[in-house]
Amino acid sequence: MSLGKKDFLSIADHTTEDLRKILELAKEQKPLARDHKLPHSHPNRTMACVFAKPSLRTRVSFETAIMQLGGNSLFITDQEIGIGKRESIHDVAKVMSRFVDAIMIRWYDHNEVVELAMHSDIPIINGLTDLNHPCQVMGDILTVEEHLGSIDNKTVVMVGDGNNLANSWINAARRFPFNFIIACPEGYEPDDAVMSAAEKDGASFCVTNDPVDAVRGAHVIYSDAFYSMGQEEEAIKRRKDFADFRITNKMLSEADPNHIVMHCLPAHRGEEITDEVMDGKHSVVFDEAENRQHAQRAIIALLMK
Ligand code: CP
Ligand code: NVA
């Protein structure tokens, strides 16, 4: 079994059938991985994990996932390689393709990752760019389905910034029949091109500036930092602009009684989400973190020869 595409750069690049294959393999392998009984389907394969930004979950989940499949990982920071600076993206792609079997990359400019993929002979997996974070949202859908059953017909409400996660959720709404709402302050809407493509596909999503109204009846309430990696100098302004977008128990009082609360992490506790919500009975944030590994292992397994 494999995916129809060489790379995993955006959820929108893949068919619903391929995305379902990832989720089903992840569900099948999760208990085996937890019991340390997963067969080594990819012995001697090597994946390079390239980071231009910090990471806990992405790094550890990808590195352990490839090891669980019998392979190895290499951790490389962009300080060593200098992609596009020390040498061209094209030349890096060609050289890396001779050494390793796949690359997972966390980067700033999404277009540079697309360029890397274009020139690579091996699968390139997006471990977060400024534009999207597809592996996170695949793990998130896995988490929704574990707790609430199929994501079909559910309402997922993200309260906060129209960032890379919001874009990936909108892409997911193009491929799965759920309703996505982003409640953000004016001026912090998701990417225009991502929204236009989703509109053309007839995806069910909307943007609102009213978080209290948005979460009414919601099945999933989703949180992320008010400022992303690379936006640290905007922190003071954003804290003010997002003052009404902190997820509190009061805000959630009219959500669906069985709602779940998610956060991709790392969380700034007390800023975008209160401790009582993060640690409350509806929170599934640590299941969500674990599911990064299960979803990504399925992605690696299906992409890597
Ligand atoms: N959620 C996530 O991608 O976490 P890291 O930044 O720690 O990898
Ligand atoms: N939007 C955040 C996600 C971190 C996992 C960022 O890009 O920093």
Tell me the whole-structure pTM to 2 decimals.
Answer: 0.98
Q: How far, in Å, CA of 182 to CA of 118, rounded?
A: 32
Average pLDDT, the chain: 97
pLDDT digits (tens, 9 = 90+) for 248-268: 999 999 999 999 999 999 999
Task: Give the distance (Å) from ligand 2 centre to CA of residue 228.
Answer: 5
Ordered DSSP codes for 178-230: -EEEEE--TT-PPPHHHHHHHHHTT--EEEES-HHHHHTT-SEEEE--SS-TT
Question: Tokens 């989940």 correspond to what residue?
Answer: 61
pLDDT tens readout for residues 194-230: 999 999 999 999 999 999 999 999 999 999 999 999 9
User: Which residue would you say has higher pLDDT here, 63 or 80?
Assistant: 63
Mean pLDDT, residues 26-47 taken together: 97
In the chain, the percentage of residues whose pLDDT exceeds 90 is 97
| Residue nearest to ligand 2 atom 2, measured at CA | 228
Taken in order 134, 135, 138, 144, the sign of the CA dihedral is negative
Q: How many CA atoms lie within 13 A of 291 on its CB side?
A: 29
Could you give the CA distance from residue 199 to residue 183 in angstroms, rounded to a whole number?
Answer: 17
Confidence of residue 305 (pLDDT cuts 50, 70, 90): confident
Task: For residue range 274-300, list pLDDT tens digits in order.
Answer: 999 999 999 999 999 999 999 999 999
200 CA to centre of ligand 1 in angstroms: 30
Judge whether 58 and 106 are in contact, CB under 8 Å.
Answer: yes
Closest atom of ligand 2 to CA, residue 265? 5
Whether 125 contacts 103, CB under 8 Å: yes
Give the model's pLDDT for residue 248. Answer: 98
Using a 6 Å CB cutoff, which residues line ligand 2?
Answer: 128, 163-165, 224-225, 228-229, 264
Kindly give the number of the ligand 2 atom that is closest to the alpha carbon of 164.
Answer: 1
Query: Which residues belong to the active site?
Result: 106, 133, 136, 224, 264, 292
Å from CA of 292 to ligand 1 middle = 9
From 51, 53, 56, 272, mutation site for ligand 1 pocket: most ligand atoms within 8 A of C-beta: 56
Handedness of CA 92, 102, 129, 293 (dihedral sign): negative
- If you write DSSP's letter for every residue of 41-94 in order, what string do you get? SSTT-EEEEEESS--SHHHHHHHHHHHHTT-EEEEEEHHHH-BTTTB-HHHHHH
H-helix or E-strand containing 262?
strand 260-263
- How many C-alpha atoms does 243 have within 13 Å on its Cβ side? 4
CA distance linking residue 217 with residue 155, whole number of Å: 8
